[in-house]
Structure 1
Amino acid sequence: MADIKVPVFSESVSEGTLLTWHKKPGDTVKRGEVLAEIETDKVVLEVTALQDGVLVSIAKQEGDTVLSEETLGVVGDAGSAPAPAADAAPAPAAVPAATTAPADAGHEATRRDDLSPAVRKVVVENGLNPAQIPATGPKGNITKADALGAVGQQAGQPAAQAAAPAQAAVAVPAGARPEQRVPMTRIRQRISERLKDVQNTAAILTTFNEVNMQPAMDLRKRYQDQFVAKHGVKLGFMSLFVRAATEALKAFPVVNASVDGKDIIYHGFYDIGIAVASDRGLVVPILRDTDQMSLAGIEKAIGGFAQKAKAGKLTLEDMSGGTFSITNGGTFGSMMSTPIINAPQSAILGMHNIIERPIAQNGQVVIAPMMYIALSYDHRIIDGKEAVQFLVTIKNLLEDPARMLLEL
């Protein structure tokens, strides 16, 4: 017999929530196989089997609060009989088919590998059948919005669709406005707390500028095929922004600094967080030592983070630390925004969508692909002059990318 233990949490994490069991008592398990998922206020952790055998019993149910190294269940040798649940009630003599359908749907949800933890939780809790949920994800997968939409449709369906014709009078009236109360996930709660703490602590100010993206677009078009052939990844705008931000941070070290009480900590390294949207909320994995990374290395790292975020597999190490952040609302169509600082950092760069607009160039009006960029910064340590010059440096580097390679 071997106990299934909760992974050791980091010092900043005190507890978690058991999100999903991927096995039920009596199921065969293999060493390294994922048995359960635990959500903390930062990441979703996987609990894996340490040996081959059978899941004999579970001590915690989905939704229960768990502590570091607490026992979740027991795995025994093959042939071990599963132990009955401590609070199990006697089974009824007969169960109507309508009652068993949601449970079957829940079991199907736990077996499907294409469901993210957030989607699986909604499906299981509401007894949905994944096969009946219209999927709008980029690869035909079910998003959290799809699952919540199915819950809303289920709540608004006439009772006659689920009951006998004689009960048709119980149908929801036309024009009804159903509501649903859904608890915040731990990650969403933590995001809310951190953002509000920053607003209450830092003196946040935002400065704007605009960038003519034509030179960067010409660079990509000219070298894209060769870049892909050599590195196996496309050259995107994000790597150029990371490189430009790194050079600007070198020129203005206070933007790369942080506040600790009455002290300013100047960091001699450049760890840039890249905001990534996921089903569970906004997460910010960190690119380490960006001054030592190539454009290809940056693109590969960002692509890897995006895949891990989508699968809910970002680790605490992926998101710990960071001296500066970049967020790209332009991927969703944002034209302008004032991003909130990711504490304890002192500044964050916001990218936006590219729109062709008329501008004055060499005494003539021309149409150019323009992007608004924003820098939100902590005015307690960063003066307006430094913030503006920092943003102008990024603008100049992106409008003449060769300067980044020549370090001018």
Structure 2
Amino acid sequence: MDVVIPALGESVTEATIGQWLKKVGDAVKADEPIVSLETDKVAVEVNAPAAGVLTSLAFKEGDTVTVGAVIATLEAGAAAAAVPAALAPAPAAPAPAAAPAPAPAAAAPAPVASAAPSAYEAIAPAVRVLIETYNLDPASISGTGKDSRLTKGDVLAAIEAGTAKVKGAAAPAPAAAAPAAARTEERVRMTRLRQTIARRLKEAQNTAAMLTTFNDVDMTAVMDARNRYKDAFEKKHGVRLGFMSFFVKACALAAKDVPSVNARIEGDEIVFHNYFDVGVAVSSPGGLVVPILKDANAKSFAEIELEIADFGKRARDGKLKMEEMQGGTFTISNGGVFGSLMSTPIINPPQSGVLGMHRIEDRPVVVKGQIVIRPMMYLALSYDHRLIDGREAVTYLVRIKEALEDPTRLVIDL
């Protein structure tokens, strides 16, 4: 039975073999993942079409494959699934030879060295990608999955808590003993997703006349409203009331006054949209991805929060669908979750605008002639100056600022 590359989404015709999850001779269950593919936008897994044993692999990791290509063969059936069981006793034969081995002390490290790779291979592929992306030592992270295996949540929590150790960080002594060995280089092939991100960002710089304008917003009113209603909101809707829903609603409201921010250039024409499909940038193991929150202008706070929470979870698990990241008329990027104070985000063509959110910090400001401490956030709007004038960009940011500093505007559409 042939294992073929399935359809990967609109306009996606090829992918890269990211990692084989099974090897020749392994028994697999029906619908069990056997290989991880990297496409231009997401990582996807190809599942076994039936239970059986893998008999051959047609490609190696790093190879490019096209939709419909045969990448492996499978001997299906229960009888085939018993083949690995017959192979299992083979490793038992060396067991007696292992008894005299403990005599030399130097032989002890050998099993440890061989055990480490097998333990690492037991980690789920998506989790390994996350570990390799941040160059982490998996032994420094406690697993909460089945059989104490690491999950993406474990890795992300360890990164956020600062308990995850970088590989090599725990071995300063050898580096001191042999400083010359520290001058090393490593070449790692860019993932297909990272190549696409790099290409699209450069295309944006080369095509659009990009400019960024800034403003700041007093988050007191939003924070007060959130603190006042967060418990009742979560109890009723089953999701936390975050800041992003306020920003999505504010951006959609401001786009009514400045429609060019929600438009795009197509040839020598301007295409205006009567809908607001906002891309919400979320972090995934392979890089930043931007799923699209469609018709955000017509959604409630609860619908926005539920959909964003779902995007974030599935991005971390590598389960976002290709079609969920296509389209979009505007983008919101929240660098504040990583501690960014100010940045100039790059627009996502063919969109004409992107709003950058940043961290909230207490700063002295003047209110009615008095210096007071307020939670302030810098906002950055990068826009295509071919379509959006400076006056329109500033007006758009001011409308967002007004809506956030007086959230009642979001309810009464003012």
Compared CA separation, residues 78 and 146, structure 1 to 2 (3 A): farther
User: What is aligned with 2:77?
Assistant: 77
How many Å apart are 1:106 and its aligned residue? 4.2
Which amino acid in the other structure matches residue 198 of structure 2? Answer: S
Inter-CA distance 138–99: structure 2 relative to 1 (3 Å threshold): closer
Shift of 1:155: 10
Q: RMSD between aligned alpha carbons?
A: 3.2
Identify the match of residue 283 of structure 1 among 284, 289, 293.
Answer: 289
**2: CA distance, partners of 1:139 / 1:45:** 19
Q: 1:184 to 1:334 in 2, by over 3 A?
A: same
Residue 140 of structure 1 aligns with which residue? 154
| Unmatched runs of 5 consecutive residues or more in structure 2 | 85-96, 98-106, 144-150
Q: Which runs of 5+ in 1 are unaligned?
A: 83-93, 160-170
Which position in structure 1 is the counterpart of 2:94?
none
Assess, with a 3 A threshold, how the Cα gap between structure 1 residues 396 and 327 changes in structure 2: closer, same or farther: same
1:240-259 matches, cutoff 5 A: 240-259=246-265
> 2:330 & 2:67 partners in 1: Cα distance?
31
Aligned to 1:50: 49
Q: How many residues align?
A: 379
Partner of 1:109: 120
Counterpart code for 1:113 = A
Amino acid at match of 1:13: V
Partner of 2:37: 38
Cα 1:303–1:14 shift into 2, 3 Å:
same
CA distance in 2, matches of 1:154, 1:7: 43
- Letter of the 1:64 counterpart: D
Within the candidate set 316, 320, 325, 1:314 is matched to 320
Distance in 1 (alpha carbons) for counterparts of 2:170 and 2:79: 41
- Judged with a 3 Å threshold, the aligned counterparts in structure 2 of structure 1 residues 197 and 100 are, in CA distance, closer, same or farther, namely farther
Report the CA distance shift for 1:399/1:306 in structure 2 as closer, same or farther (over 3 A): same
**C-alpha distance in structure 2 between counterparts of 1:120 and 1:141, whole Å:** 7
Change in CA separation of 1:98 and 1:234 when aligned onto 2, cut-off 3 Å: same
Corresponding residue of 2:93: none
> What does the per-residue CA deviation read over 1:311-351, in whole Å, with 9 as the maximum and x for residues that have no partner?
12222112111000000111111111111001110000011
- Structure 1 stretches of 4+ moved >6 Å: 96-103, 120-123, 135-138, 142-148, 153-157
Task: Answer yes or no: is the 8 Å Cα contact 1:156–1:172 preserved in 2.
Answer: no
Pair 1:153–1:64, CA change in 2 (3 A)? farther
Deviations 1:39-89 (Å, cap 9, x if unpaired)?
01211111012222222322222222211111111222222368xxxxxxx
Tell me the residue number matched to 1:26: 25
Please say if 1:236 is aligned against 2:242.
yes
Which whole-Å CA distance do the structure 1 matches of 2:360 and 2:191 have between them? 33
Deviates more, 1:137-146 or 1:309-318: 137-146
| Counterpart Cα distance in 2 of 1:359 and 1:155 | 47
Deviations 1:290-319 (A, max 9, x none): 022111111111111111111122221121
| AA partner of residue 50 (structure 1) | P
What displacement does 1:120 show?
7.0
TM-score, with structure 2 as normaliser? 0.82
Partner of 2:407: 401
Partner of 1:164: none
What is the distance in 1 between the residues matched to 2:297 and 2:155?
Answer: 37
- Residue by residue over 1:171-204, the C-alpha shift from the partner in whole angstroms, topping out at 9 and shown as x without a partner, is 8445732222212111111111101111011001
Percent identical:
49
Contact 1:18 1:38 in 2 (8 A): yes
Q: Distance in 2 between matches of 1:220 and 1:181?
A: 47
CA contact (8 A) 2:141 2:154 kept: no
In structure 2, the residue corresponding to 1:47 is in which secondary structure?
A: strand
Match of 2:366 among 360, 364, 386: 360
Task: Indicate if the aligned counterparts of 2:10 and 2:323 stay in contact, CA closer than 8 A.
Answer: no
Counterparts of 1:378 and 1:50, CA distance in 2: 47
